[in-house]
Amino acid sequence: MRTELRNVSKVYHFDGRADHHDVQALASLSLTIAEGELACIVGPSGCGKSTILNLVAGLERPTTGEVLFGDAPVAGPGPDRVLVFQAYTLFPWLTARENIEFGLRSLRLPADERRRRVDRELARVGLNGFARAYPHELSGGMQQRVAIARALTMEPRALLMDEPFAALDAQTRNLMQEDLLTALGREPKTMIFVTHSVDEALFLADTVTVLSARPARMLDHIRIDLPRPRKRTSRDLNELRERILAQLAEQVRLAERGNVPWGS
Amino acid sequence: MGLLADTRKGDTASTPDAPSPRVVRSVARLLRLESSDVRRNAVSAASVIVLLVIWQIIADLRLFEQTLFPEPRGIVQSYHYWWANGGLATGLSISLRRMVMAYALSLAIGIPIGMLIGRFPLADWTLGTVVRLLQPIPGIAWVPLAVVWFTSVSESAKIFIVITGGVFPVLVSTSAGVRTVPPAYLRVARTLGVRGLGLFTWVVFPATIPSIVAGMRISWAFCWRSLMAAEIVLAARTGPGQEGLGGLIAVARQLDQINTAGMVMVTLAAVGLLIDGLVFHAVERRIRRRRGLTE
Ligand SMILES: Nc1ncnc2c1ncn2[C@@H]1O[C@H](COP(=O)(O)OP(=O)(O)OP(=O)(O)O)[C@@H](O)[C@H]1O
Ligand SMILES: [Mg+2]
């Protein structure tokens, strides 16, 4: 399924506050992600990356413009586009298994099909032995594995990842990236992966989209055709890394000088 | 030879005047009061005993007239008396039956209304306003209305009064809990395709359970208070214990049996402590453990 943002802008209103002002998170942004593509989006903090995912997930509505999934405009959340959040968002009253099974209740599947899917996802993220553990008994990395399994068990057409590994240490993060690619290796799935980390984007992506400071504009769109698994320090990736880091640094510098308006 | 033996003794620290490290350690552990439950309960029990002894000593000083000041020994005699004629057992069982009934109704009314008020602004502005108006009225102030509506000898009148005391804490606690459900949980559920009533039953309700249990705990205590008020004021039937524990207090007042009043008060405290400790404390701890809210 193709995902497309057409001239999308998004304004957040802070109502009910004395110093209320509106925030323009996106201004007329257009972006297309092809079917089966692993698209990474990088950009300075607060530029509107999460907003993009929330729009595609149907949790937010665009102020103007259109968000399309396939050929139809996104009308609301749906199990065909599942969002994985940055912070740990497992339900603390459910075990790992019950968390993974959570969304299946809304699909009204028979019990044995539910069990089959949950077992499959537990195995896929390597948590067979922790099915009965409660979230607080799991490490941060394990919790994010459960969150990813909880999304995959819905068999969505697109997986939307909002900095899912941001809270993990560097080694765990690398491992999770490798595992994610292995886990998905056999079924190419559309994935929109937002990250702060240029390294992460270069390691994972088919395409990297670089966004400007808020309101986000597309600064660069890079297709990476290198085979996986990639060597993180290969010459090609190093060159791309320098290019993207320079673009991002420029954005931060502009923002510091006040050339980029922070409220409009 | 002797020197050698002595040294060995000293090493293993088994002489009576040099306590073994293990004893030292366990004494040290006993003195660190914060740890185990056993120790905590032992210290609590000891403090109650000390209280009783001081109480008896003051009573024995005869500073007050005996008929005005209940004393432990007299209360024990009252227990004998009311146990023998069955009044205590009857009173306790009648009061507990009313409690269970009124408490269950309080929860059945309070929890759903609390959830509605917490979740929907419109319910808050309407129902919530009514709740905020009625909440400050103590159970005892409802007595005249209860008498007219249900007649004073009826069970319904007393149960109604207990509900007026018990319904609000759990209601308010529930609505506060619903308001503080992390929005992230709702977003997760929605992106997983859960909508409408499912959000309520699978996310809002389980997320609110700790607040509901905290409210249930307070409601239980409030039900006891209102029940005593109702039973004392509306004591109608005669016969030992026929009007519940509150009825016994009413009898004690009429007959100037100050120790009977003391006995009922001790009983109330004991039952309250027992239920709170055995049921609520245990349930709360279990929930906290499971959700990783303990240290
Ligand atoms: N629900 C909201 N209400 C009001 N303002 C919001 C809301 N969500 C986001 N914003 C604002 O919109 C802008 C973009 O937010 P967004 O979360 O999309 O940024 P981001 O690129 O994901 O940032 P980060 O990298 O720090 O996660 C920010 O200035 C933020 O303050
Ligand atoms: Mg974000």
Find residue A31's DSSP bridge partners.
A5
- Residue B182 has what pLDDT? 94
Does ligand 1 lie within 6 Å of residue A51's CB atom?
A: yes
Beta strands in chain B (DSSP E): none
Q: What is the mean pLDDT of residues A32-58?
A: 93
Beta-strand pair A190-195/A38-42:
parallel
Does ligand 1 lie within 6 Å of residue A47's CB atom?
A: yes
Report the C-alpha gap between A58 and A199 in whole angstroms.
29
Does residue B31 sit in the same domain as residue B122?
no
> CA B144 → CA A128, B34, B95, distances in Å?
64, 48, 21
Q: What is the mean pLDDT of residues B127-139?
A: 92
Q: What is the mean pLDDT of residues A199-215?
A: 92
Does residue B171 sit in the same domain as residue B124?
yes
Does residue B27 sit in the same domain as residue B99?
no
Task: For A243-257, give one letter per residue: b (16+ CB within 10 A) or e.
Answer: ebeebbeebeeebee
pLDDT above 70 for B81? yes
Let me know if residue B208 belongs to a domain.
Answer: yes
In tens, the pLDDT along B135-147 reads 999 888 988 888 8
Contact A190, A159 (CB under 8 A): yes
Of B185, B190, B191, the CB nearest to A91: B185
Let me know if residue B285 belongs to a domain.
Answer: yes
**Higher confidence at residue A19 or residue B178?**
B178
Q: Which of B180, B187, B188 to mutate to test the interface with A (most CBs of A within 10 A)?
A: B188
- Residue B11 has what pLDDT? 43
Does residue B46 sit in the same domain as residue B92?
no
ipTM of the complex: 0.89
Does residue B199 sit in the same domain as residue B243?
yes
Q: What is the mean pLDDT of residues B122-146?
A: 92
Least confident range from A8-17, A146-155, B117-126: namely A8-17
Distance B129 CA to ligand 2 centre (A): 38
- Whose CA is closest to A65, among A33, A25, A13, A38? A25
Cβ neighbours of residue A154 closer than 8 Å, sequence gap 6 or more: A79, A82, A103, A104, A107, B192, B193
Let me know if residue B179 belongs to a domain.
Answer: yes
- Asked if B202 lies within 8 A of A103 by C-beta distance, the reply is no
Asked if the C-beta of A66 comes within 8 angstroms of chain B's C-beta atoms, the answer is no
- Asked if A134 lies within 8 A of B190 by C-beta distance, the reply is no
Q: Which residues 174-203 in chain B show a CB within 8 A of chain A?
A: 184-185, 187-195, 198, 202-203
Does residue B172 sit in the same domain as residue B241?
yes
Let me know if residue B185 belongs to a domain.
Answer: yes
Residue whose CA is closest, atom 31 of ligand 1? Answer: A46
Least confident range from A36-50, B28-42, B238-252: namely B28-42
Question: In this structure, what is the dihedral angle of CA atoms A217, A223, A227, A230, given to the nearest 10 degrees?
Answer: -30
* Domain final residue, candidates B63, B83, B117: B63
CATH code of B191's domain? 1.10.3720.10
pLDDT above 90 for A136? yes
Report the C-alpha gap between B163 and B166 in whole angstroms.
5
The two tokens of residue A205 are 């992506």
Report the C-alpha gap between B1 and A104 in whole angstroms.
80
Let me know if residue B189 belongs to a domain.
Answer: yes
pLDDT above 80 for B66? no
Let me know if residue B229 belongs to a domain.
Answer: yes
Q: What is the mean pLDDT of residues B195-201?
A: 92
Residue range of the domain that includes B33: 21-63
- B270 residue type, one letter: A
pTM: 0.82
Does residue B228 sit in the same domain as residue B266?
yes
pLDDT band for B13, please (50, 70, 90 cuts): very low
* Domain final residue, candidates B63, B89, B117: B63
Output the average pLDDT for chain B.
86
* In chain A, ranges of CATH 3.40.50.300 domains: 1-80+158-169+188-264
Residue whose CA is closest, atom 18 of ligand 1? Answer: A48
- Asked if A107 lies within 8 A of B203 by C-beta distance, the reply is no
- Asked if B192 lies within 8 A of A79 by C-beta distance, the reply is yes
Does residue B115 sit in the same domain as residue B147?
yes
In tens, the pLDDT along A81-126 reads 999 998 889 999 999 999 999 999 888 889 999 999 999 999 988 8
Least confident range from A210-224, A244-258, B210-224, B257-271: namely A244-258
pLDDT band for B12, please (50, 70, 90 cuts): very low
- Residue B23 has what pLDDT? 73
Output the average pLDDT for chain A.
89
Distance B271 CA to ligand 1 centre (A): 54
Does residue B245 sit in the same domain as residue B179?
yes
- Residue B293 has what pLDDT? 83
pLDDT above 70 for A259? no
Domain A1-80+158-169+188-264: homologous superfamily in CATH = P-loop containing nucleotide triphosphate hydrolases (3.40.50.300)
| Number of residues that this document lists for chain B | 295
Let me know if residue B214 belongs to a domain.
Answer: yes
Give the three-state DSSP class for B33: coil
Let me know if residue B149 belongs to a domain.
Answer: yes
Does residue B112 sit in the same domain as residue B59?
no
In tens, the pLDDT along B17-51 reads 556 777 777 666 655 544 567 788 888 889 999 99
pLDDT band for B127, please (50, 70, 90 cuts): very high
- Residue B295 has what pLDDT? 64
**Higher confidence at residue B5 or residue B149?**
B149
Please count the structural domains in chain B. Answer: 2
Q: What is the mean pLDDT of residues A229-257?
A: 89
- Asked if A92 lies within 8 A of B292 by C-beta distance, the reply is yes
Contact A162, A59 (CB under 8 A): no
